[in-house]
Amino acid sequence: MNALRIIGAFLRLNVQVALAYRSEAVVQILLNLMWLGWELTSLAIIFANTNELGGWGPAELVALLGVWRLVNTMMSIIVWPNTEKFNQGLRDGSLDYTFLQPANSQFLVSVTRIELWRLWDFVIAVVLIVAGLGMSGRVATPANIATFLALTVSGAAVLYSLWIVMIAVTFWFTRFDNNVTILAALMDAGRFPAQVYPFWLRLLITFVIPIAVATTVPLQGLRGELAWWETAGFLALGVLAVWVSSRLWKAGVRRYSGASS
């Protein structure tokens, strides 16, 4: 209940911020639509020269683009804004006040900044997924939809946990300013199925910085391509990632001595 009240308070604060900069939000939405047009144009150019990409056709790539946008929206709403807030707080000492609050510090660091206007991207993402499935002629069963939703949540949890690990590293290496640059750069790899990449890169985006776990894998679940044990393994990975990141965060907080030290 306390967590819900905290989220509600931050939501009200971020709504006020969004309303104060309405014109900027409109501009960002228009730019986002422009990028969507470019992404779809890029797919059209690719499939004007080939019938499939790594065994995936145009319909599957449209759906994958939707899944990628779904995950990227989560990153844009919470992860990237709070990364900026965290780094600033680490430099100017305002992070100290976060640790003085009677609430979980990891939770507070995760929800302080919320880019509400990016919620529009969820609508675009769902439309792309539904359109891609419609183009492919596939009919998703309730079991496949449930698997997709579970794997999407699990994949998002993995990326969130990876983010927590990367910012927690700054408790040991205070000069590690660009702590999520690699994660941000590799996010674009999720636009395409993992199968199109060379073996070494496929391993990287599946097991080291698991972008594919949050994009390709959920769509495979929606298409009914995963065995039950594969689904269970990816779900277990999400739980494990959350647990590990929480342990590392607490260890980092115990090491943290404040900006003035």
- The reply to whether 149 falls in a domain is yes
d(CA 163, CA 110): 10
260 found inside a domain: no
Domain with 50, as residue range(s), is 2-255
Q: Roughly how many angstroms between the first and final C-alpha of the chain, as a whole number?
A: 35
Answer yes or no: is 160 within a domain.
Answer: yes
Asked if residue 261 belongs to a domain, the reply is: no
- Can you give the pLDDT at residue 235? 94
| Domains of the chain: total | 1
Tell me if the pTM is above 0.85. no
Q: How many percent of the chain have pLDDT more than 70?
A: 87
Of the chain, the percentage scoring pLDDT greater than 90 comes to 15
The 3-state secondary structure of the chain reads CHHHHHHHHHHHHHHHHHHHCHHHHHHHHHHHHHHHHHHHHHHHHHHCCCCCECCECHHHHHHHHHHHHHHHHHHHHHHHHHHHHHHHHHHHCCHHHHHHCCCCHHHHHHHCCCCHHHHHHHHHHHHHHHHHHHHHCCCCCHHHHHHHHHHHHHHHHHHHHHHHHHHHHHHCCCCCCCCCHHHHHHHHHHHCCHHHCCHHHHHHHHHHCCHHHHCHHHHHHHCCCCCHHHHHHHHHHHHHHHHHHHHHHHHHHHHCCCCCC
CA gap 210, 220 in Å, rounded: 15
25 belongs to a structural domain: yes
| pLDDT at residue number 261 | 46
Residue 92 within any structural domain of the chain: yes
Q: Are 163 and 79 in contact (CB under 8 A)?
A: yes
- pLDDT tens digit string along 82-94? 887 787 777 777 7
Largest CA distance in the chain: 61
More confident residue, 152 or 179: 152
- Report the distance separating Cα 139 and Cα 222, nearest Å: 10
The answer to whether 43 touches 196, Cβ cutoff 8 Å, is no
Exposed, middle or buried by CB within 10 Å (0-12, 13-18, 19+), for 159? Answer: buried
What's the pLDDT band for 74 if we cut at 50, 70, 90? Answer: confident
Residue 60: other Cβ atoms inside 10 A: 22
Q: How far is CA 194 from the centre of its chain?
A: 17
For residue 97, being part of any structural domain is answered with: yes
81 is a domain residue: yes
The predicted pLDDT at position 190 comes to 84
Over the stretch 166-205, which tens digit does the pLDDT of each residue have? 888 888 776 555 666 777 777 888 888 888 888 888 888 8
